[in-house]
Amino acid sequence: MLSPKDSPLGKLLRQYVCVRITRMDTIDIGLFEHDRNNTVYFYLLNADEQIYMRYGGRDATSPDAYLNLESLTLAAAKGLELHAKRPPVTARPTPDFPKNYSLLVERTFARNQCVECHLIGDYQNLHRQQDGTLDKREHLFRSPDLKTIGITLDVPKGLVVKEAAGAAAEAGMKAGDRIAQWEGTKVWTFGDVQHRYNETPRTAMQTKLTVERGGAMVDLAIALPLRWWLMDTKFRQSSVEPRFFFDDRPLSGEEKKAMGLPADGFASMVKYVSSTAKTMELHGLEVGDVITAVDGKRVDRDAHTATLYLVLRKAPGDGATLEVMRGGKKIDMLLKTMQMSFRK
């Protein structure tokens, strides 16, 4: 059994002021800015609210993919080391509080409901949607997955690379490297890395990092693949808007060629239709249908499937006209989208 008094982590934590926050009501979410779909997230900081590092983060497959007691212990030790050195003071982000979001106030505070972390993210996006600043590539597809660029970490060892493949390998990354900087900023944990990676503009073509290899620092420029920011957002529950209750897969190059469709188009085959679509009379899609156009468009710079096109370009409640191929016949079909009921 873990004995905090005797465990490495316990000994380290006794040198900290430990605080656990489960209600976000009065927290400066401008300072403590992270993906609100994390179940647990840590900050190591000083009394002047200078953040030494973050610990946390996740991927689409699991909320604890990057959480580990060994790496948390490493982080706690590093935090003490940084605290002793007193790093230079950095500018504090603009303060922001949950009560700044009127819809969040109306639907949680005013009802004496818990301001759940994920609701903060959801309502921030709703406000962005209303004021026209929502960029779904950034705000919906946040916390992009390192594996998309070929980086698999040895999680208990913090930022030590377990396997480098794809774009990372092509840039020269090797197993055993330790990621030391991301775009010129020192990083100590996966939480730091994911936070910096998420700040990459979605139109960027490359990202620069520095790894420690055999005691030397090596700079790497990783070419970002198309749609590097894309990730499975099913775990975000209520964040994905609009909803249309079907799923699809992109057509292969051969399939597009055979149907005379543009190679860079977003034509896709329906692979799943929820019964909700029929119940709510949202559309009449069937498994095996091929969506060849939406509102007459076949190509979009960001989308490789019809569902991604709809997520990126449509607002909740919008309608669309789908061009569908079924059994060799072309059908024009109306589609209605939905908004999560809790937001109505």
Partner 1 sequence: MRLLLLVLGLAAMAMGQDDDIVWLDNYAEAVKTAQATGKPIFLEFRCEP
Which residues sit at the interface with partner 1, rule CB under 8 A? 1-5, 7, 9-10, 13-22, 24, 26-27, 32, 34, 38-47, 49, 52, 62-64, 67-69, 76, 79-80, 83, 114, 116-118
Nearer to partner 1, 1 or 110 (CB): 1
Nearer to partner 1, 24 or 209 (CB): 24
Nearer to partner 1, 42 or 245 (CB): 42
Number of other residues whose CB lies within 10 A of the CB of residue 291:
26
C-alpha dihedral (303, 305, 308, 310), degrees to nearest 10 = 100
The least distance separating partner 1 from the CB of residue 312, rounded to whole angstroms, comes to 28
The Cα–Cα gap between 164 and 153 comes to 9
Let me know: does 15 contact 35? Beta carbons within 8 Å. Answer: no
Let me know: does 250 contact 230? Beta carbons within 8 Å. Answer: no
The least distance separating partner 1 from the CB of residue 4, rounded to whole angstroms, comes to 5
The least distance separating partner 1 from the CB of residue 50, rounded to whole angstroms, comes to 10
Of residues 91, 99, 12, the one with CA closest to residue 49: 91
Nearer to partner 1, 194 or 207 (CB): 194
The least distance separating partner 1 from the CB of residue 237, rounded to whole angstroms, comes to 11
Spatial neighbors of 330 by CB under 8 A, at least 6 apart, are 292, 323, 324
Nearer to partner 1, 12 or 168 (CB): 12
Per-residue tokens: 310: 């709809």
The least distance separating partner 1 from the CB of residue 214, rounded to whole angstroms, comes to 31
The Cα–Cα gap between 4 and 333 comes to 62
Number of alpha carbons in the 13 Å side-chain half-sphere of residue 56: 17
